[in-house]
Chains A and B, each alone.
Chain A
Amino acid sequence: MSLLPGKLNDIIDQLNMVDDVMERSHFLVSYANKFETIPSEIAQPPYPKQNMVPHCESEAYVWVQERNDHTVKLYFAVDNPSGISAKALAVILDQALSGLPPEQVARVNPDIVEKIFRQNMSMGKGMGLSAMVQAVRVKAERIAQQRAMNED
């Protein structure tokens, strides 16, 4: 049984319908083109180190914020102008996971990176992108734990 949230499954299903490498690349680039960096009222460069994704050469930063309705909102910054895949992944994660409870976000497996980017993903790039998902998970998990403690 898939543990992926519905929107994430939908996006991966859409990508899986595109077999042509060029078409698939354009599809992913179209996600990257929608990338918006974290609003300046929330964070400004230089961004804090605790938000930096380790092992990510795209110099990506992740924020997971709890909202009043107990869901989370994801924000990202990508400092490297060549970080096009990081931007695409950031948009996909934001579209698929923002608005979900942190417990659900914390369960998303980093192997979605392989499902999204499939072939032609080198080890270094794969590691950086997986680390982005892992950073989101860790931050969501922390919010979920904090909430559980507050409810006790």
Chain B
Amino acid sequence: MNWNEHFPALLLIIPLFGAFLAPVCSLGGKMARNILLVAASFLTLVVAFLLWRSVLANGIQYYVMGGENFRLALPSGMALPVRIILEVDAFSAFMALCGSIAAFAGALFSVNYMNRFSGQSRFTSLYLLLATGMLGMMITGDLFNFFIFIEISSIASFGLIAFWRDKPSAIEASLKYTLVSQVGSMLILIAAGSLYGKYNALNMAAIGSSLTMGTMEKLALVFLVGSLAMKCGAFPMHMWLPDAYAEAPTGVTCLLVAVSQASLYGLMRVCFSIYGVAMGSTFVPWMIIIFGLASMFFGVSMAVVQHDIKRLMGYHSVSQVGYMLLGLGVGLLVLGDARGMADFGFTAIKGGVFHVFNYTMYKALLFLTAGALYYATGKKDLNEMGGLARRMPYTTFMFVIAAAAISGLPPFNGFVSKLLIYESSFAVHPSLAVVALLTSVLTLASFVKVFQTAFLGPEKNNLLHVQEVPPAMLLGMVVLTAAILGATLFPSWTLSNLVEPAARALVDQSGYIGAIVGGGM
């Protein structure tokens, strides 16, 4: 048996099996449950890596669920695919790899972090279920299936955000996310149902192959783009995000960063692979660019005035999502214009895709460092911290790396992706690059504040007992630090091996459609 062919299914089966096994494993004690959490996350990461390599070597990989042959996308006599199909191109594989790294780091961190609390069996189940939902969103080729995976990840998120049920603020954050998320999911379902009603297909490639723009298609596009932009935290629909990120256990926040990227993935898949050049008007690309600019500027403006460390980082998430929306929106703007795409469009898409990787790594790391501070001091308010660099040198070191990377300081990886976005968006209009640059300056100002108030200055008398966090938590942070330093020291390798294939796959609508509708076996 060739295992390569089964990687797409294995990517979902491993965390899903782990989620259902967690209550049973919990009977064996904390150690067994922690081993399950870390082992399932690690195996998922290994499969994601192997799948990514396999896709780079062999091209788009698909997997037909429930059919007589898992490689038969279009059975003879059928005009359209009827089964649930997982379709993994280089963009999906790249996203799954990013998400799996964050999930593994979060799992490692949670081993010690969650040790003080009860309900770990539920935590492990929901964590792995959230990872399953996230990965499912990234590799499914079916619109209804995408909705199902959104729901799986949303339901797991609701439980995890409200994990500390004795905290009213956690319940409130979860309630807000539940309300807005469910309204969003309903609109996604209406959009999928409308497209199914007209095109008799739920497969993304099949819909993309026959889509022509009409009133229904326009409304479906708005519902999909609006809902997925809300799920990834675009301004002004971002208000659930700082609350949810601040209240969830830190390992979960690390994974939620990657889950928000799964929504961004869905947004890009809809725009590039389903609608593509059929979109016609430039209104939607401009809408995405405006979402990006507003998210960048207003997100960072809110971050500057926060003094709860996790809320501050939550607002930075809104701001960073803006960079990706800007880069990918500029690329979408010139999707049908070969010259524009060659001049700056593809550079913008590369910048956006590279920023997805960078953002997932450094934002996940920043949340983990915030969690480490909370674990060590019991505080989230920066006003109550100070002088912790002496007590927590490793956490400080990793915080500085992540803060420099998110601020776009050279030579860190955040600078490279931002540079690509600045230069390409400048080609559309200089004001776009000005907003992006101003956002970077405010990001740096904000993280200088965090560094100065939490880590520098004299030690506070009530924090003299503080010690560095346990090794498993440090290890979780080390995984992400290594990814940041790797992308920093080897940007051309990262671009040519990770980013460019993903960006190329994203703009190749005919390749994505042809793999399924083109024949099957």
The judgment on whether A and B are partners is: no
Which A residues are closer than 8 A to B by beta carbons? none
Which B residues are closer than 8 A to A by beta carbons? none
